[in-house]
Structure 1
Amino acid sequence: MTTYVLIPGAASDSWYWHLLNAELRGRGHDVVAPDLPCDDDSAGLAEYTDVVINAIGHRTGLVVVAQSFGGFTAPLVCDRVPVDLLVLLTAMIPSPGEPPGQWWANTGWEKARHEQDTRDGRAPDDEISLFLHDVPPDLAAEAIKRRRYQSATPFLHPWPLQAWPAVPTKVLLCRDDRFFPAEFMRRIVEQRLGIAPDEIDGGHTIALSRPRELADRLEAYQAER
């Protein structure tokens, strides 16, 4: 049996995964979806990693799936416990020694976002249009209501690994992502991991907009192995 370990992005929690969680459990898999201490100003990436490790416990057959800012925590988990597969889902990809807060400037994200906003004709403060444009309205409203305070603490300190962990890694970008545009992500994946990403229709919050399709893709990755 596969155990899927689902790591959310910034200012988020396990609710983000609830539809995917149900899909995967309905297919006979175990799911671990911990709530990270994102609202705790004393907690950094080390504490985030500890929370995930503790939630995993003695489980094996692990597939770690990381969304957005979860891309900084997931490799730290893979460095400490045996993981069969790491899936970066429209996620930030760190470089050794890089503080997460510097990732935006180092990757040229701001320019890519501005160009995407211009293409979309999107107002900068329209979070629905940015993150949830393809999510059913009731779910989008609930997601906004559940948005948590995100401490700056984990963004301040260098990412501690000297190299990417020795675990098979897939990157799945979302073609309709307005926050991490697809063209931008293709470049970052190639530059930082030297691989070509896989692609799926959907926006940044694909676990809410297309949970079944996402579960299909995760199962396909397992079948490939």
Structure 2
Amino acid sequence: MATFVLIHGGGGSAWDFHLLEAELSGRGHDVVAVNLPIDDEKAGFDEHVDAVTKAIGDRGDLVVLGHSYGAFTAPLVAEKRSARLLVLLTPMIPKPGETPGDWWGNTGFQDAKGLSDEEKFFNGVPADLVAEAGSHGRNQVSAEWGQPWPLEKWPDVPTKVLIAREDRFFTPEFQRRVVQERLGFAPDEIDGSHSVPLSHPKALADRLESYL
């Protein structure tokens, strides 16, 4: 059995993974879902990585998953802890030296016009979960937004990228292009919205297990 380390996206929390955590735990895996220090103005990449590694403790056989903005932190953790596998889910894939703030312009991202946040991020998520998600969201003020991504090259860790076919925020067309440009391969695809862990937790757990 593996240890799945789940790193949330911008403004998120460990709660974002509670359905996926239940699926994976029910199959006998260990799960570590971490609250990054995104509400600390002094917290940068180092502090984000420290928060995750402290939560991992002495666990091994790690599968590190970074969701959305969490893809900036996940490779740092995967390298530091010599992970078995790195999985990037509907991700912001960084380049060496790139700040998260610059990523948007560098990739040519264009926001969906005329859609509410709920329509962009939570299409296909049950209404009760959408309402609950609002109470778990956090204001992201941490310092890594303006910090260059510290790795000089992509970590020497097997890497999978999984995008969502119904993602209205990072559309499949956009994701396919960025993954190919930055990592040199085509991503895998799964049904669901940008919030796949809430919209399709069982299918996501199935896919993650298939990677082992």
Task: With the length of structure 2 as denominator, give the TM-score of the two structures.
Answer: 0.98
Residue equivalent to 1:216? 206
Residue equivalent to 1:142? 132
Residue equivalent to 1:207? 197
SS in 2 for 1:88: strand
2:167 aligned to 177, 183, 186, which one?
177
Q: State how far apart, in whole Å, the 2-side matches of 1:189 and 1:127 are.
A: 24
C-alpha displacement of 1:51 = 0.5
User: Aligned runs of 1:73-112 on 2, under 5 Å?
Assistant: 73-110=73-110
Q: State how far apart, in whole Å, the 2-side matches of 1:6 and 1:40 are.
A: 20
SS in 1 for 2:36: coil
Q: State how far apart, in whole Å, the 2-side matches of 1:2 and 1:11 are.
A: 27
Alpha-carbon contact 2:93-2:179 (below 8 Å) kept: yes
Residue equivalent to 2:154? 164
Residue equivalent to 1:57? 57
SS in 2 for 1:43: coil
C-alpha displacement of 1:205 = 0.3
Structure 2, unaligned stretches of length 5 or more? none
Alpha-carbon contact 2:37-2:142 (below 8 Å) kept: no
Q: Which AA in structure 1 matches 2:84?
A: D
C-alpha displacement of 1:46 = 1.1
Q: State how far apart, in whole Å, the 1-side matches of 2:144 and 2:165 are.
A: 28
Alpha-carbon contact 2:39-2:142 (below 8 Å) kept: no
Q: Which AA in structure 2 matches 1:24?
A: L
Q: Which runs of 4+ in 1 moved over 4 A?
A: none
Task: With the length of structure 1 as denominator, give the TM-score of the two structures.
Answer: 0.92
Aligned-residue CA RMSD in angstroms? 0.9
User: How many equivalent pairs are there?
Assistant: 212
| 1:48 maps onto 2:48 in alignment | yes
Deviations 1:68-91 (A, max 9, x none): 000000111112112000000001
Q: Which AA in structure 1 matches 2:109?
A: W
SS in 2 for 1:69: helix
C-alpha displacement of 1:145 = 2.1
Structure 1, unaligned stretches of length 5 or more? none
Percent identity over paired residues:
55
